[in-house]
Structure 1
Amino acid sequence: MSHPCLTCGACCAAYRVSFHWSEAEPDLGGAVPVALTETLGAHQRCMRGTWSDQPHCVALAGIVGQEVTCTIYDARPSPCRELRMSWEDGTPNPQCDRARARYGLPPLTPEDAARAIAH
């Protein structure tokens, strides 16, 4: 069984992904490809495609709820690194649950997380 996030991707197509502009500045150690971002304000950028009524990150490949991958996984911004799936740490994550519900996916269970962590 694959990790639930590899068949979900709802979080990447439900929320604006905003972060400090320096995360996309190579001279300051940033790794997020600046071409995949847009200016959000004086001090923030966001992933292209996530600042809309129907967000969908430009770096998300595949079909939400079926099979997905992040094309910049190793260079993803901090909000993506910090978002955890429900039950990953033994507690539900309402943000994960809301994103999944938006796509008609059931919330993850403690058993889903246990299987993901075991693999």
Structure 2
Amino acid sequence: MSSTSPCLTCGACCAFFRVSFYWGETQGAGGGVPDNLTEQCGPLRSCMSGTNNPAPRCTALLGDVGGAVRCTIYDNRPSPCRDFQRSGEDGQENADCDRARAAHGLPPLVLPPLPVEAETA
């Protein structure tokens, strides 16, 4: 079984949702998210540049959705990105992941099979 994350060949969530978060996560406020990749989207909210558009795409996403992708600020990404779980992670479906993938013509991720319990004699 491969340990490579399917996220490295997806990126759909980064090109589907607005990524908004508390402004205190930006570097200018003492956080880690680079200021030059954010914009203000409310009195106390910032969002990743490019995601506050009718056709969102985070400016930190490098590559083609559905191909090879990566986050250029992965270690400094905001909390919504850190908290987002791909479908199948921890054995749980994520309808938001599946919806973002579908919007880009990608199939839902297949959940891993449940472990088979050992038979008792």
**TM-score, length of structure 1 as denominator length:** 0.89
CA distance in 2, matches of 1:27, 1:42: 14
SS at match of 2:90: coil
CA distance in 2, matches of 1:26, 1:87: 35
CA distance in 2, matches of 1:7, 1:27: 33
Higher relative contact order (CA 8 A, sep 6+): 1
CA distance in 1, matches of 2:112, 2:65: 21
Give the structure with higher Rg (CA): 2
CA distance in 1, matches of 2:35, 2:28: 9
CA RMSD across the alignment: 1.3
Residue 110 of structure 1: how far off its partner (Å): 1.3
Where does residue 110 of structure 2 map in the other structure? 109
From the two aligned structures, give the one with the greater helix fraction. Answer: 1
What is the number of residues matched between the two proteins?
111
SS at match of 1:111: coil
Structure 2: runs of 5+ lacking an equivalent? 114-121
CA distance in 2, matches of 1:12, 1:97: 13
Q: What is the percent sequence identity of the aligned residues?
A: 56
**TM-score, length of structure 2 as denominator length:** 0.87
Structure 1: which 4+ aligned runs deviate by more than 2 Å? 25-28
> Is residue 87 from structure 1 mapped to residue 85 from structure 2 by the alignment?
no
